[in-house]
Amino acid sequence: MAAPFPALRLRRTRSAPWSRSLHAETVLTPADLIWPLFICEGKGVEEPVASLPGVSRWSVDNIVARGREARDLGIPCIALFPNTPHDRRTDDGAEALNPDNLMCRAIRALKDAVPEVGVLTDVALDPYTAHGHDGLLDAAGYVLNDATSDVLVGQALNQARAGADIIAPSDMMDGRVGAIRAALEDEGFVNAQIMAYSAKYASAFYGPFRDAVGSRGLLKGDKKTYQMDYANAEEALREVAADLAEGADSVMVKPGLPYLDIIRRVKERFEVPVFAYQVSGEYAMIEASAAAGAGDRDALVVETLMAFKRAGCSGVLTYHAAHAARLLA
């Protein structure tokens, strides 16, 4: 007589869809998503981004339509990134301080039309500089930390005055979170959140994003003197600790899938809200895989987003947000 099978059969709970649902350890819903959107000048404009199939730049009126779409899909927050015309890009990024720039007009329009949708705004100078760097340069081309931080404070206040709900510094300057937090408090923006890009790596996955904001070809050199070395993990924990001490409400790891180990370590060490940015290169790879017939788009989208949640994310910035929300509904 054959020996009895061990009492524990782990496949029992996988045997039916209802049971798999009941025993799922991780849940993904539209409320976990933040939808990044690109803004351009004009009215009634949609400009497809060639390197990001399915992603477009939108004029402010069409951004409002996307805000209504996000609301109807249950997506709680959208993130804005401007494509600043080249004639308004300068070495000092002064357009970032213009209260009537693309970003501020889009913020005001969204908060007027769909105030129930959160608006996250990027704080960095690369969409505004003629040289494509995130800050001000010295004569040798080195990004100046403290002088850049002073401009970032003005940029953050400019966005907060327009109605931004979450200020998200993505520049990786030392000390900028504390400076922005102090300025927001001084001006009475006590409920303006800061989501710090705390562990933002100098990655090869950002190329299509630079197309979308119009900075491709402008950048001289690279961003390795301020964005993180992708060989480092302990340094990410030091960056997160500094930003939290300076007043960040939440932190971000960017890019996403290649850095799930960083997400997990940050979550376990600090027990704070951690977000990930599924960046343009990650999105483009999924789209290319689907277009080549190498993978099912819907399955790839949901599986990768679930991986972020499983690793410890409170939410994910993803260009697939609207598509994913429809799938999850």
Instruction: Kindly name the residue from 111, 200, 223, 267 that is annotated as catalytic.
Output: 200
Q: Is 234 exposed, middle or buried (0-12, 13-18, 19+ CB in 10 A)?
A: exposed
Q: Where are the domains of the chain?
A: 27-328
Residue 2 has pLDDT above 80, yes or no: no
254 is catalytic: yes
Residue 164 has pLDDT above 80, yes or no: yes
Instruction: Kindly name the residue from 111, 254, 267, 309 that is annotated as catalytic.
Output: 254
Q: pLDDT value at position 152?
A: 98
- DSSP H or E segment with residue 31: none
Average pLDDT over residues 133-151: 97
Q: pLDDT value at position 219?
A: 85
Distances (CA, A) of 196 to 6, 24, 116, 135: 50, 30, 22, 16
Q: Which residues contact 260 (CB under 8 A, 6 or more apart)?
A: 307, 308, 311
Average pLDDT over residues 55-75: 98
pLDDT tens per residue across span 266-286: 999 999 999 999 999 999 999
- d(CA 219, CA 212) in angstroms, rounded, equals 14
Task: Give just the sign of the alpha carbon dihedral 108, 109, 110, 112.
Answer: positive
Selection from 213, 78, 97, 79 nearest residue 148 by Cα: 97
Q: Which CATH number fits domain 27-328: 3.40.50.920, 3.20.20.70, 3.30.1380.10, 3.90.1150.10?
A: 3.20.20.70
- DSSP H or E segment with residue 163: none
- d(CA 152, CA 124) in angstroms, rounded, equals 7
How many percent of the chain have pLDDT more than 90? 92
pLDDT tens per residue across span 106-123: 999 999 999 999 999 999
Residue 1 has pLDDT above 80, yes or no: no
The structure's pTM equals: 0.95
- d(CA 271, CA 252) in angstroms, rounded, equals 13
